[in-house]
């Protein structure tokens, strides 16, 4: 099919040409005296995206899933109790990983469409007077449902109960696109990956840890080797890595950081809000509902529910086969019930309108009773009114 495949999934996201070009490099000697000139400023600048001055940033040749494991195995001991709220496929998988690693996982089920219930979290932490809970695992942006949780609120709950648990945050689909403040929110481990807000191919796990978490690496008894933060710290200190770095990922990250910092993080967050808001206006004009309940709407991904007599998989396959656009499917409990539009990364008003128009055509083709042009019109009006 001529033209591009239009990628409107919430990761991997569209890679800007500048980043593709930056990654197209010959290999070089990663033990050379000049290699630290690449790595040291890269790790320093990565901290700016996490909004941490006191923490330390890390790059592993891995993905977000490894980031979950790095946080858990480097700071905890087998059998430690961790608390997690499960409200979508990604929070489910993180809790499942913790269980498989041998942690004592306390899982609280939450409605898919809602995020972390702060009042209940605070009550549970207050009840834990013996401080058996060693870490709270918070999924900032649940990509499966398009739900954003209030991490500042999680910190407040921990502080209100004077609880010393570590706070680990999965920010794979939020960091570098949604407001995220590691220091201000007292996050001990922030986990991200290259293929969403960072606009790169998969293959980089980007992380930041607080001094408290780094201290915990000294006593944690989980076996770990490839993912050992201590080895990274020892090598990173001099500008090197403990094993062969994924050079294209490092050069791609260099370009991605330059682009994000040049745009300015506040502008990046505002752009994602506008992209999301235009999408939500279109969904409302179609008369459809989003999965996220009020107050939890994500600015990086919208999960759209279809009526019971419809199968969201038909919308996705029609969009792909007929119009060459890729949408996200409903995961697990939402299979067939929802489709997802990603509005994260290298996107602007017009690329977003491509997604909205493509979805609208696929909805019409699959028998949805919507007015042609209604979603596009709603989004156009919003984008026109709010464009600078
Ligand atoms: C994509 C995603 C992950 C998984 O990351 P991988 O890079 O696929 O390992 C984890 N959490 C969230 C919230 C995600 O969106």
Same domain, 282 and 258: no
Sheet holding 289-290, edge to edge: 6-8, 325-329, 338-342, 301-305, 289-290
Same domain, 311 and 185: no
The three-state secondary structure class of 71 is helix
Identify the residue whose C-alpha is closest to ligand 1 atom 2: 172
Tell whether 198 is covered by a domain: yes
Instruction: Judge whether residue 2 has pLDDT over 90.
Output: no
Work out which ligand 1 atom sits closest to the CA atom of 67. 9
Task: Place 91 in a pLDDT band, splitting at 50, 70 and 90.
Answer: very high
Work out which ligand 1 atom sits closest to the CA atom of 139. 13
Q: Under a CB-based contact definition with an 8 Å cutoff, are residues 163 and 134 in contact?
A: no
Tell whether 180 is covered by a domain: yes
Same domain, 85 and 232: yes
C-alpha neighbours within 13 Å on the C-beta side of residue 267? 11
Using CA atoms, how far residue 10 sits from 54, 123, 149, in Å, is 30, 33, 17
Q: How far is the CA of 142 from the centre of ligand 1 (A)?
A: 9
Question: Which is nearest to 64 in space by CA: 176, 185, 207, 199?
Answer: 207
CATH of the domain at 348: 3.90.1150.10
Identify the residue whose C-alpha is closest to ligand 1 atom 1: 172
List pLDDT tens digits, range 124-180: 999 999 999 999 999 999 999 999 999 999 999 999 999 999 999 999 999 999 999
Question: Which is nearest to 24 in space by CA: 255, 332, 290?
Answer: 255
Tell whether 70 is covered by a domain: yes
Tell whether 89 is covered by a domain: yes
Total of domains in the chain: 2
Q: How far is the CA of 65 from the centre of ligand 1 (A)?
A: 6
Q: How far is the CA of 192 from the centre of ligand 1 (A)?
A: 8
Ligand 1 pocket, mutate which of 97, 171, 173, 331 (most atoms under 8 A from CB): 173
Q: How far is the CA of 147 from the centre of ligand 1 (A)?
A: 14
CATH of the domain at 80: 3.40.640.10
Instruction: Judge whether residue 368 has pLDDT over 80.
Output: yes
Task: Place 123 in a pLDDT band, splitting at 50, 70 and 90.
Answer: very high
Per-residue pLDDT, 279: 98
Per-residue pLDDT, 1: 75
Tell whether 1 is covered by a domain: no
Buried b (16+ CB within 10 A) or exposed e, 243-268: eebbbbbbbbbbbbbebbeeeebeeb
Same domain, 82 and 149: yes
Domain boundary among 228, 245, 262: 262
Largest CA distance in the chain: 65
Domain boundary among 239, 262, 285: 262
Ligand 1 environment, Cβ below 6 A: 11, 63-65, 90, 139, 141, 143, 170, 172-173, 193, 202
Give Cβ neighbours of residue 385 (< 8 Å, ≥ 6 apart). none
Instruction: Judge whether residue 15 has pLDDT over 80.
Output: yes
Same domain, 219 and 338: no
Q: Under a CB-based contact definition with an 8 Å cutoff, are residues 352 and 325 in contact?
A: no
Same domain, 241 and 280: no
Work out which ligand 1 atom sits closest to the CA atom of 142. 13
Q: How far is the CA of 195 from the centre of ligand 1 (A)?
A: 9
* Full domain range(s) for residue 355: 6-12+265-386
Same domain, 61 and 209: yes
Tell whether 138 is covered by a domain: yes
The three-state secondary structure class of 328 is strand
Same domain, 168 and 288: no
Tell whether 319 is covered by a domain: yes
Residue-level length of the chain: 388
List pLDDT tens digits, range 291-327: 999 999 999 999 999 999 999 999 999 999 999 999 9
Average pLDDT over residues 245-254: 98
Domain boundary among 262, 278, 309: 262
Same domain, 211 and 162: yes
The structure's pTM equals 0.98
Instruction: Judge whether residue 334 has pLDDT over 90.
Output: yes
Give Cβ neighbours of residue 306 (< 8 Å, ≥ 6 apart). 288, 312, 315, 337, 338, 339, 368
Q: How far is the CA of 360 from the centre of ligand 1 (A)?
A: 27
Q: How far is the CA of 364 from the centre of ligand 1 (A)?
A: 31
Same domain, 212 and 307: no
Work out which ligand 1 atom sits closest to the CA atom of 10. 15
Same domain, 209 and 295: no
Same domain, 34 and 169: yes
Residue with tokens 């609208």: 360
Q: Calculate what percentage of the chain has a pLDDT beyond 90.
A: 98
Task: Place 343 in a pLDDT band, splitting at 50, 70 and 90.
Answer: very high
Nearest-angstrom CA–CA distance, 138 and 338: 23
Residue with tokens 């834990």: 128
Q: How far is the CA of 294 from the centre of ligand 1 (A)?
A: 24
Identify the residue whose C-alpha is closest to ligand 1 atom 5: 64
Q: Mean pLDDT of all residues in the chain?
A: 98
């Amino acid at each position: 099919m001529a033209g591009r495949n239009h990628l409107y999934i919430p990761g991997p996201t569209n890679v800007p040409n500048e980043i593709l070009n930056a990654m197209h490099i010959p290999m070089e000697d990663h033990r050379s005296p000049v290699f630290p000139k690449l790595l040291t400023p890269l790790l320093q600048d990565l901290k700016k995206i996490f909004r941490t001055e006191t923490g330390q940033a890390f790059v592993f040749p891995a993905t977000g899933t490894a980031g979950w494991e790095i946080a858990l195995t480097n700071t905890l001991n087998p059998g430690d109790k961790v608390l997690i709220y499960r409200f979508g496929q990604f929070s489910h998988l993180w809790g499942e990983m913790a269980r498989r690693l041998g942690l004592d996982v306390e899982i609280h089920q939450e409605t898919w469409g809602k995020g972390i219930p702060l009042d209940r979290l605070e009550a549970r932490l207050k009840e834990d007077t013996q401080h058996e809970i060693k870490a709270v695992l918070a999924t900032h942006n649940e990509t499966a449902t398009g739900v954003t949780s209030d991490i500042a609120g999680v910190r407040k709950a921990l502080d209100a109960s004077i609880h010393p648990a570590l706070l680990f945050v999965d920010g794979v689909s939020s960091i570098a696109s949604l407001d995220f403040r590691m220091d201000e929110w007292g996050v001990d481990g922030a986990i991200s990956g290259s293929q969403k807000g960072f606009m790169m191919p998969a293959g980089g796990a980007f992380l930041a840890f607080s001094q408290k978490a780094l201290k915990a690496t000294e006593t944690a008894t989980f076996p770990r080797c490839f993912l050992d933060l201590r080895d990274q710290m020892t090598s990173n200190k001099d500008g090197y890595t403990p094993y062969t770095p994924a050079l294209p990922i490092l050069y791609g990250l260099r370009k991605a950081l330059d682009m994000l910092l040049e745009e300015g993080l506040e502008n990046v967050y505002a752009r994602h809000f506008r992209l999301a808001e235009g999408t939500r206006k279109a969904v409302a004009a179609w008369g459809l509902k989003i999965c996220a309940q009020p107050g939890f709407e994500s600015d990086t991904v919208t999960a759209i529910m279809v009526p019971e007599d419809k199968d969201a998989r038909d919308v996705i396959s029609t969009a792909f086969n007929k119009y060459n656009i890729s949408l996200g499917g409903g995961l697990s409990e939402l299979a067939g019930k929802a489709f997802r539009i990603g509005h994260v990364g290298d996107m602007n008003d017009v690329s977003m309108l491509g997604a909205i128009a493509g979805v609208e055509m696929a909805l019409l083709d699959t028998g949805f009773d919507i007015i042609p042009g209604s979603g596009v019109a709603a989004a156009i009006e919003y984008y026109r009114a709010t464009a600078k």
